[in-house]
Homo-oligomer: A and B are copies of this chain.
Amino acid sequence: MSEQTNEFTEWYLQTVQQSELMAYSSVRGSIIFRPDGYELWEHIQEEFNKFLKKQGIRNAYFPMLIPQNFFMKESDHVEGFAPEIPWVTEVGDEKLEEPLGLRPTSETTIGQAFSDWINSYRDLPYEINQWANVFRWEKKTLPFLRTSEFLWQEGHTAHATEKEAYERTMSALDEYERLCEEFLAIPVYKGKKTPSERFAGAVDTYSVEAMMQDGKAVQAGTSHYLGTNFAKAFDITYLNKENQHVHAYTTSWGASTRLIGALIMSHGDQSGLVLPPTVAPTQIVLMPVGPWKKNPGVMEKLDEIFYNLKEAGYRVRLDDSDNTPGYKFNEWELKGACIRIECGPRDIENGHIIVKSRDVADKQKVAFEEIDTFVADELTAMTPRLLEKARKRVKENEYLHINTLQELKEHIETCKEEDKTPGFVLIGWDGTEETEETIKEETGFTTRNIPFEAPIEKEVDIVSGKPAKHTLWIARAY
């Protein structure tokens, strides 16, 4: 893994471009989602929409432009987002009276709408979701992981009680965990953000954090308990059963196209993308090998297999181009096709095909009559197998016994020497921003989250040595 580790970001940048997931655009930090990249997002959307439907949360769509005065209504919110907001100031060649911001998130617009729509306790809970493009002009950008424009879903809900709002905050977080682990095979760390890492305007922010192959963290989904902060800013009140006007409790939660970045950085290898069949644009690729052009039986058989698999609903491609088998192997490994099926004249004679799974080194022979069963079983097995592999890697890069800043620095140094990743480190924390600041300045590590169930509880703060109030994960992060 050394090559990939040392130049992991370089590997990533080459892989996402060469596999044709994305291309750079002429707008700073914005990328083009090419069809294979966009399809990954479409599958994530389908899966998340199932959760929404089951929960009775409906999709809606709100204006992308937000009047400047909306931002001003929640002071923490505007402070957090102001530096990154692109502003429309002109239309044609006429100046607008009030600048319009490109949404970085929609609490303000949706808060305003909730204020109109919610009047009685009978209207609660009020729960909606939006699939949308959002804008945050970040200084450093990286394809999928941090882009000026990105795609996401944002759930927004209003409730009669703190308890209900908190439960929704948690159920959204649980769904992000499930989506990452079961659907994308990305193991995550679930927990609460420290106050300095909270969403601007939230009472509490929770996250799922994923560890990439270089040990760095990607925040894969966040869920915010907003209390009555936005309800007060936007006057979201309702008449309760006792005939009193009271504020609703709101939540918001989002996951974005950075999941695509996490997916690639979790599973990819030196040959390119490794994708779970749940999202892979190509689940199966068929290709003729050997002197197949002289033996029409080869293409006849492949056409038959292709047709059957397609009928069965698989995402299957047949590569009958003139490229060499070696070229085709490389191309489809780069693109992350889950299963490769080869067939040549001799295979036809012997009544089998040659199969290779993207994440397994060996090829195997599968008799013609067993192809359907084999493919179904193998595609079912692959996602949990990738999750298992990722879990193992992640566990190997967890460090639980570092108790002082000095030990942390030594750990980082040792990892560097041994060409390992410094991974996720569990620390004790006294709850002060000073500790977070010191760790960041001295090591580049940032606080990820306070796990709901820490593997062990820490006694003392890693910097101050004072009694720890919390145990939390720290890591370098994208």
Contact = CB atoms under 8 A, between A and B. Distances in A.
A26 B148 CA distance: 25
A100 B86 contact: yes
B151 A65 contact: no
A31 interface: yes
A59 B30 contact: no
A196 B135 CA distance: 36
A38 interface: yes
A100 B30 CA distance: 12
Contact of A63 (B32, B88, B116): B32
A58 interface: yes
Interface in A69-90: 70, 82-90
Interface in A15-55: 23, 25-27, 30-35, 37-39, 41-42
A99 B112 CA distance: 30
A456 interface: no
Given A84-B91, A87-B88, A91-B84, A63 B151 contact: no
Main secondary structure of the interface of A (DSSP, over half): mixed
A438 interface: no
Nearest to A281: B58
A92 B60 contact: no
Contacts of A86: 65, 88, 90-91, 100
Contacts of A88: 86-89, 102
A109 B83 CA distance: 27
A27 B113 contact: no
Contact of A82 (B92, B100, B151): B92
Contacts of A66: 27
Nearest to A108: B26
Nearest to A133: B64
A90 B92 contact: no
A54 to B, nearest CB: 12
A43 to B, nearest CB: 12
A67 interface: yes
Contacts of A39: 58-59
Contact of A60 (B38, B62, B87, B109): B38
A252 B88 CA distance: 27
A23 B116 contact: yes
Contacts of A30: 63-65
A327 interface: no
Interface string A90-117: 1111000001101000000100110011
Given A32-B60, A100-B27, A85 B89 contact: no
A246 interface: no
Given A25-B109, A64-B133, A89 B87 contact: yes
Contact of A61 (B32, B65, B91, B99): B32
A137 interface: yes
A128 B35 contact: yes
A113 B32 contact: yes
| In the complex, the 5 A-B pairs of residues with the closest C-beta atoms, listed nearest first | A35-B58, A30-B63, A33-B61, A83-B92, A86-B88
22 contacts: A23-B116, A25-B62, A25-B113, A26-B109, A27-B67, A27-B100, A30-B63, A32-B60, A32-B61, A32-B62, A32-B113, A33-B62, A38-B58, A38-B60, A61-B151, A82-B92, A83-B92, A87-B89, A88-B88, A88-B102, A89-B89, A90-B99
Interface of A: 23, 25-27, 30-35, 37-39, 41-42, 58-67, 70, 82-93, 99-100, 102, 109, 112-113, 116-117, 128, 132-133, 137, 148-149, 151
